[in-house]
């Protein structure tokens, strides 16, 4: 940050001095102290990232940091701070903080049009800086001016030089709750400006409340970035990796086959910048997190994991390494992860890309991504709605100043068309490195009907066999059938409905599996675990998922035998896939029967399935375009945060404890719950919660009737009727599995 900018902002912050008369926090901190802390956090950010914001963005964010809590001078808030008794009429301070912004200043400095835009973006960001509904925006409500005069004006006058008056007309806000009536839709540029102001204000404010002196950790570790650490591991780079390294300043789409070092290519592209690495599944993000952070990987400790298991993983790592880190310190690290403070964050797409829905509370993600680099891994795995949200989000990201990289093994013509349509082909480079891969790894056999159990068992005598089923129920059934034939060769079953302590063990076992035998799984292994089997038997699925499954077999080896190593069965169990795409996936696969496939063949196959001219009249294509248009037309605050979460339920889950687990472990579980709710010892609370989570598993909301989920008192968990078995997992609704004794 330039010296004159630092001086300028410090002078602005000292224009009005808040006396110690006004309390700002329940811990006794004065308003002046907190405000200065928030401002200082923003100044520290500008020192780290001096060129990521425009001059007007810097000024508006600074003013938001300065004025955001001025509404706390209201007499009702100050009375509550001193007596801890909530008044009958509670005033949300953010609404009245906006009254301290002088519109005249902006009109005189920037002119009528721009001045009004900047003023509206600023007051809206302050007004909504806490995600709370405003009673003053109900039609015909005239209480705003009256409450200002009664509760705010007298104290406000103590640090405003001119006569204190309400400078905010509610109609000046960029948007209102729909119930307030119609106002013009803010332009995308204005929405992005508002998001940057509010998002950066929130981050500086949250950090100050946590007594942190920065919102961003330093990127370099011992003078090295993640890209430097990757380069130390490689004497030569593959074409895809070199392309990523050479184009760090551009948005890129990189197509590279499974097993070609795509993760390293993404890390090289991130370079010395702040980065987010997104994946479709939580288990995949956990695997990448360990690969980057652990000593056996790249040992880049400035890596965070943004999902519900992150705290558990931090505690486990500390215990394993026998560090002196206390639980309290570990929890503080976890909170910094949630505040997006780490240089590199590994996460799923739903955690950072909900901002296109324009619901309150998501602005900090767009604000942070505006100066970051975002990797989208395996974009083809998302549904039409999430794909639409992602594409619109990328277009907003580009306009906000951020960078993106799409890295995928498969990128059909349809996806290329949609990206061009929504983001604009002038905004990115595309490079296909898959066609350069001459490694021949897969020969397929396709047949209608159920799995050939005899064939699977015969192969398992001298090979590692992977069986992938389209659903958990089918995976359990297939496992049981194979177990009946030969229990010694049927080694394991893996799907998402195992409680955490069992699933962690199963994942470790399949990763280390080197003997002959069979593992049966659900689609969970498609893009998550780095496994390499000798032979794959899979149910037919959509073309993109099918090619992902190929990557779990002969991952980095040339296949030179005459018999196939990929066996595909059209069982009819395909309800989770789009019907038209599934049908086309079968039709276009037939010509490749018995052929040793090159990476170019796979690209051709995928493009044939998703051929734009052939599917443009399908329901699938129309739904994607409808979803894109819906995302573009969303009005601010049309959706509340909870409603947006529901729209993402296909990758967002609810945590449950199966009834049978709850009954069998009643004493242990209740002990954990009692500790969480009754003890004052913070560390004991966290350890009890960690222990409690070992008995949980995640279930998608559409799996089962929401009414059947019963809250477990004293927790944020649910119980669900069903039987659990440590070998087979959980099935909803059943009291026990049939034929368990094979």
pLDDT tens for each residue of 659-687: 999 999 999 999 999 999 998 888 888 88
Q: Whole-angstrom Cα distance, residue 11 to residue 30? A: 20
Mean pLDDT, residues 114-141: 85
Position 739 scores a pLDDT of 42
What three-state secondary structure class fits 711? strand
pLDDT confidence of residue 741: 35
Average pLDDT taken over every residue of the chain: 87
Distance between first and last Cα of the chain: 70
Rounded distance between C-alpha atoms, residue 423 and residue 415, angstroms: 12
CB 6 within 8 A of CB 43: yes
Burial class of 31 by CB neighbour count within 10 A (0 to 12, 13 to 18, 19+) = buried
Coil, strand or helix at 221: strand
Q: Cα–Cα distance between 229 and 588 in angstroms, integer?
A: 43
Dihedral Cα 115, 117, 120, 126, nearest 10 deg: -90
Where does the pLDDT of residue 19 fall: very low under 50, low under 70, confident under 90, or very high at 90 and above?
A: low
The DSSP element (H or E) to which 254 belongs, if any, is strand 252-255
β-bridge partners, 732: 722
How far, in Å, CA of 176 to CA of 121, rounded?
Answer: 13
Using the predicted structure, report yes or no on whether residue 736 has a pLDDT greater than 60. no
Give the strand pairing for 722-725 and 729-732.
antiparallel
What is each CA distance from 306 to 102, 274, 325, 609, in whole angstroms?
39, 15, 20, 34
Residues 244, 195 contacting (CB under 8 angstroms): no
Is residue 256 very low, low, confident or very high in pLDDT (cuts 50, 70, 90)? confident
pLDDT at 283 over 80: no
Q: What contacts 713, CB < 8 A, 6 or more positions away?
A: 673
CA 118 distance to own-chain centroid: 30
Contacts of 480 (CB under 8 A, 6+ apart): 728, 739, 742
| Nearest Cα to Cα of residue 65 among 207, 218, 217 | 207
Q: With left for phi above 0 and alpha for psi between -120 and 50, is residue 322 left, alpha or beta?
A: left
pLDDT at 405: 98
* 589/702: higher pLDDT: 589
pLDDT digits (tens, 9 = 90+) for 302-352: 999 987 778 888 887 776 666 667 788 888 888 899 999 999 999 988 889
Mean pLDDT for the stretch of residues 690-718: 78
| pLDDT score of 514 more than 70 | yes
Mean pLDDT over residues 46-58, rounded? 95
Which residues neighbour 573 within 8 Å (Cβ) at sequence distance 6 or greater? 469, 470, 471, 474, 539
**pLDDT on residue 482:** 97
Which of 437, 435, 436, 434 lies closest to 558 in space, CA to CA? Answer: 437
Q: E-strand spans in 532-678?
A: 535-539, 566-570, 596-597, 653-658
pLDDT at 15 over 60: no
Q: What is the pLDDT of residue 742?
A: 28
Instruction: Kindly state the tokens that stand for 511.
Output: 């990763």
* Residue-level pLDDT at 641: 79
d(CA 287, CA 582): 29
pLDDT mean over 520-534:
86
Q: Are strands 718-720 and 710-711 parallel, antiparallel or unpaired?
A: antiparallel
- Cα angle: 104, vertex 110, 115; to 5 degrees: 60
Q: What are residue 672's phi and psi, to 5 degrees?
A: -60, -45
Kindly indicate the confidence band of residue 179, based on its pLDDT and cuts at 50, 70 and 90: low
pLDDT on residue 223:
94
Q: Is residue 433 classed as helix, strand or coil in its secondary structure?
A: coil
In the three-class reduction of DSSP (H, G, I as helix; E, B as strand; rest coil), residue 564 is classed as: coil
The DSSP bridge partners found for residue 386 are none
Confidence class of residue 1 from pLDDT cuts 50, 70 and 90?
A: very low
Indicate whether 36 pLDDT > 50.
Answer: yes
How would residue 515 be classed by pLDDT, with cut points 50, 70 and 90?
Answer: very high
Alpha-carbon distance 344 to 293, whole Å? 10
Greater pLDDT, 428 or 719: 428
Residue 617 CB contacts under 8 Å (≥ 6 apart), including other chains: none
- Position 433 pLDDT exceeds 50: yes
Beta bridge partners of 731: 723
d(CA 30, CA 21): 8
Contact 72, 24 (CB under 8 A): yes
Per-residue pLDDT, 56: 96
Distances (CA, A) of 126 to 172, 180, 359: 13, 19, 15
For the residues 355-383, what does the mean pLDDT come to? 92
pLDDT at 738: 46
pLDDT in tens, 154-172: 888 876 766 677 888 888 8
Answer yes or no: are the C-beta atoms of 546 and 538 closer than 8 Å: yes
pLDDT at 575: 86
Which tokens is 391 given?
A: 């594409």
- Has residue 728 got a pLDDT over 60? yes
Radius of gyration of the chain (CA): 28
- With contact defined as beta carbons under 8 Å apart, do 269 and 252 qualify? yes
pLDDT, average across residues 13-39? 77
Query: Residue written as tokens 């990128």?
Result: 411
For residue 414, CA distances in Å to 383, 384, 579, 620 come to 14, 12, 17, 11
What local confidence, expressed as pLDDT, does residue 44 receive?
A: 95
Strand, coil or helix: 407: strand
353/565 Cα distance (integer angstroms): 38
* Closest residue by Cα to residue 275 from 300, 242, 255: 300
Cα–Cα distance measured from residue 417 to residue 413, given in angstroms and rounded to the nearest whole number:
6
In 390-457, DSSP assigns E strands to: 403-408, 429-432, 442-448
């Amino acid at each position: 940050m330039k010296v004159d900018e630092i001086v300028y902002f410090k002078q602005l912050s000292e224009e009005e001095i808040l006396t110690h008369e006004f309390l700002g926090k329940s811990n006794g901190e004065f308003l002046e102290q907190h405000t200065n802390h928030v401002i200082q956090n923003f100044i520290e950010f500008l020192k780290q990232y001096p060129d990521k914001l425009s001059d007007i963005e810097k000024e508006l964010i600074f003013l938001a940091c300065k004025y955001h809590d001025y509404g706390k001078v209201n007499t009702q808030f100050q009375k509550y701070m001193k007596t801890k008794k909530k008044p009958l009429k509670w005033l949300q301070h953010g609404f009245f903080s906006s009254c301290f912004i002088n519109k005249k200043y902006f009109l005189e400095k920037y002119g009528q049009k721009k001045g009004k835009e900047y003023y509206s973006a600023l007051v809206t960001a302050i007004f909504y800086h806490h995600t709370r509904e405003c009673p003053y925006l109900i039609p015909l409500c005239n209480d705003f001016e009256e409450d200002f005069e009664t509760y705010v004006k007298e104290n406000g006058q103590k640090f405003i030089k001119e006569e204190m008056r309400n400078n905010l007309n509610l109609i000046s806000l960029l948007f209102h709750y729909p119930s307030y009536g119609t106002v013009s839709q803010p332009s995308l540029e204005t929405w992005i400006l508002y998001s940057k102001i509010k998002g950066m204000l929130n981050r500086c404010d949250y950090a100050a409340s946590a007594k942190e002196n920065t919102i961003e950790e330093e990127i370099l570790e011992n003078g090295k970035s993640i890209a430097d650490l990757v380069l130390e591991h490689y004497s030569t780079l593959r074409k895809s990796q070199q392309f990523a390294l050479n184009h760090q300043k551009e948005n890129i789409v990189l197509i590279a086959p499974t097993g070609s070092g795509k993760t390293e290519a993404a890390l090289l592209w991130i370079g010395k910048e702040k980065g987010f690495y997104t994946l479709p599944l939580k288990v995949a993000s956990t695997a990448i997190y360990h690969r980057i952070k652990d000593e056996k990987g790249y040992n880049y400790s400035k890596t965070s994991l943004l999902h519900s298991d992150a705290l558990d993983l931090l505690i486990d790592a500390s215990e394993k390494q026998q560090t002196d880190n206390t639980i309290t310190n570990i929890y503080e690290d976890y909170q910094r992860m949630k505040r997006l403070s780490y240089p590199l964050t590994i996460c799923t797409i739903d955690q950072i890309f909900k901002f296109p829905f324009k619901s309150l509370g998501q602005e900090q993600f767009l604000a942070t991504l505006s100066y970051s680099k975002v990797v989208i891994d395996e974009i083809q795995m998302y549904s039409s709605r999430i794909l639409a949200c992602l594409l619109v989000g990328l277009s907003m990201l580009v306009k906000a100043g951020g960078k993106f990289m799409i890295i995928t093994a498969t990128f059909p013509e349809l996806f290329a068309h949609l990206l061009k349509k929504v983001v604009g082909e002038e905004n990115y480079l595309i490079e296909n490195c898959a066609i350069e891969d001459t490694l021949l790894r897969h020969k397929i056999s396709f047949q209608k009907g159920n799995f050939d159990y005899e064939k699977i068992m015969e192969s398992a005598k001298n090979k590692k066999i992977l069986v992938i089923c389209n659903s958990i129920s089918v995976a359990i059934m297939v496992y049981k059938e194979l177990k009946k034939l030969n229990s010694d060769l049927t080694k394991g079953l893996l799907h998402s409905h195992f409680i955490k302590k069992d699933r962690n063990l199963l994942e470790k076992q399949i990763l280390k599996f080197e003997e002959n035998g069979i593992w049966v799984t659900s689609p969970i292994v498609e893009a998550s675990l780095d496994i390499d089997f000798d032979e794959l038997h899979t149910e037919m699925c959509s073309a993109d998922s099918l090619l992902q499954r190929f990557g779990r077999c002969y991952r980095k080896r040339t296949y030179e035998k005459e018999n196939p190593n990929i066996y595909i069965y059209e069982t009819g169990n395909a309800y989770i896939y789009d019907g038209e795409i599934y049908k086309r996936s079968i039709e276009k696969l037939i010509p490749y029967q018995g052929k040793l496939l090159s990476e170019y063949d796979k690209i051709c196959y995928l493009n044939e399935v998703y051929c734009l001219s052939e599917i443009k009249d399908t329901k699938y294509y129309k739904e994607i375009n409808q979803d894109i248009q819906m995302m573009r037309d969303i009005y601010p605050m049309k959706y509340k945060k909870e409603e947006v979460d529901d729209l993402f339920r296909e990758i967002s889950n609810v945590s449950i404890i199966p009834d049978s687990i709850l009954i069998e472990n009643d004493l242990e579980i209740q002990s954990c719950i009692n500790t969480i709710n009754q003890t004052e010892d913070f560390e004991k609370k966290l350890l009890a919660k960690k222990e409690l989570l070992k008995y949980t598993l995640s279930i998608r909301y559409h799996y089962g009737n929401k009414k059947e989920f019963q809250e477990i008192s004293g927790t944020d968990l649910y119980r669900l009727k069903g039987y659990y078995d440590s070998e087979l997992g959980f099935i909803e609704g059943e009291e026990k599995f049939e034929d368990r004794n094979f």
